Amino acid sequence: MNPRLLFWIPAGLRLSIVLAGAAVFWYLFGMFAGVVAVIAGLLILLIVQLHYLFQLSQWLEDPNSAKLPDGWGAWTDIFSRLYRMRRGDEKNQAELTEWLTRFRQAMSLLPDGVVIMDDVLFLEWCNPAAEKHLGLQLDRDKGMRVTNLVRTPEFMDYIILGRYDEPLTIGFKDRKLVVQIIPFENRRQILVTHDITDAERIDMMRRDFIANASHELRTPLTVINGFLEIATSQPNLDPQTRMSHLKLMSEQGQRMQNLVEDMLTLTRLESVDYPLRPEKVNIRMLLEQIEQEAVALSAGRHTISLQLGGPDLKGGTEELRSAFGNLVTNAIRYTPQGGKIDISWEDKDSGPQFVVRDNGIGIRPEHIARLTERFYRVDKGRSRETQGTGLGLAIVKHVLLRHDATLVIESEPEQGSTFIVKFSRKLVAES
């Protein structure tokens, strides 16, 4: 039935009852009594209506606090319908709040920045990634013009030209960002930011590595080619010169081989397809072998000592051999004849540590932080003279990264250097 009828039928019914009652009074007690009965009946009806109207207006003031009365007659229906509408509203509101919370959560997890602006670029909302990328603070910057907050000439030009179908790469503070404006609705625009600082840095490192590696390989190749040219253009070279050329060529060939091997080792250490497979490493055996190799390399020019006091480790034997071996080889290469090299494996409270101490040429403080960079050398000439590839400490760094270990370098020019590799106690192997 039409709900309006539900209202009008009881209301009409009540009026009919009042009028019928008044007619009965009129008939029984005369006209005056009938009129009084009509007025009294209407008055009662009016008071009831006013009472419910008052309750309704009170409820409308604060629909959350009070409950609606049950009502009487048509009011029952009005109140119950209002109540149902309110419940529906509450449900919609709760759904909306839930959606909003979920949307905010998703937005705050997004690695890309999202800024919502109005048509004249005033900031309305942004997610935490956008705050980080663009140095914004939503509560502080809300309502400010985005061009006043992101002040780079490229971004200004982008806004002025309005070619939003293409993204734009900008350098902002110490970051490299790809930004794009996407107009939406009639009067809103979204600014999306994507941080490419790391990708760009890796790309640059890769380019530098290729350039450096090519340069490193070109030098020995040029020497070998030079001697080969001499050999073909001067077939009657005396045997002594020929021998010395062959010796130099073989040295350069060895240098190229060392370089390629170190590059392959580094690539392997960085590769995700080559995860560390920890095994029990017999440190005593490993370090005794390294010491023997050191003695052979030094050929009696240095005093070499080994002290073993720490426990065995869990790790990659070959990787640790390569890292420890590089540190010991460096100590020999950068310590003049007559120098002293102490190798020790110690047990400290924080965990075991490998220490190589020499009294060689030492390193000036400004170089220390950069030593583990690929191809970084303090003295290029000396490194080459001793068959260095410039990759030894980069390999050490990568091996240590895979073992959660840290490298500490202490050095004083002309006094010597100490390289300490600190392992965590977690890596100690059970005996």
Q: How many residues does the chain have?
A: 431
Give the integer Cα–Cα distance in Å for 379 and 346: 31
Give the integer Cα–Cα distance in Å for 402 and 379: 29
Provide, rounded to whole angstroms, the least separation between the CB of residue 329 and ligand ADP. Answer: 8
Under rule CB under 6 A, how many of the chain's residues touch ligand ADP? 22
> Tokens in use for 7?
């209202």
Provide, rounded to whole angstroms, the least separation between the CB of residue 263 and ligand ADP. Answer: 12
Amino acid identity at 358 = D
Give 311-378 as a DSSP string. --EEE-HHHHHHHHHHHHHHHHHTS-TT-EEEEEEEE-SS-EEEEEEE-SS---HHHHTTTTSTT--S
Write the binding mask 392 to 411 for ligand ADP: x where contact by CB under 6 A, - elsewhere.
xxx-----------------
CB count within 10 Å of CB 335 equals 21
The residue within the footprint of ligand ADP, chosen from 121, 220, 389, 422 (CB under 6 A), is 389
Write the binding mask 279 to 318 for ligand ADP: x where contact by CB under 6 A, - elsewhere.
----------------------------------------
Provide, rounded to whole angstroms, the least separation between the CB of residue 271 and ligand ADP. Answer: 20
β-sheet with 406-412: strand ranges across: 303-308, 340-347, 352-358, 416-422, 406-412
Write the binding mask 141 to 160 for ligand ADP: x where contact by CB under 6 A, - elsewhere.
--------------------
The residue within the footprint of ligand ADP, chosen from 417, 420, 422, 423 (CB under 6 A), is 417
DSSP state of 310: S
The residue within the footprint of ligand ADP, chosen from 269, 363, 407, 421 (CB under 6 A), is 363
State phi, psi for 52 to the nearest 5 degrees. Answer: -70, -35
Using DSSP's 3-state secondary structure scheme, residue 303 falls into strand
Between 189 and 359, CB nearer to ligand ADP:
359
Between 193 and 330, CB nearer to ligand ADP:
330
* Share of the chain residues as helix, strand and coil, in percent rounded to the nearest 5: 55, 20, 25
Provide, rounded to whole angstroms, the least separation between the CB of residue 336 and ligand ADP. Answer: 11
Write the binding mask 311 to 350 for ligand ADP: x where contact by CB under 6 A, - elsewhere.
---------------x---xx--x----------------
Please give the residue ranges that form the binding site for ligand ADP (CB under 6 A): 326, 330-331, 334, 358, 360-361, 363, 371, 376-379, 383, 388-394, 417
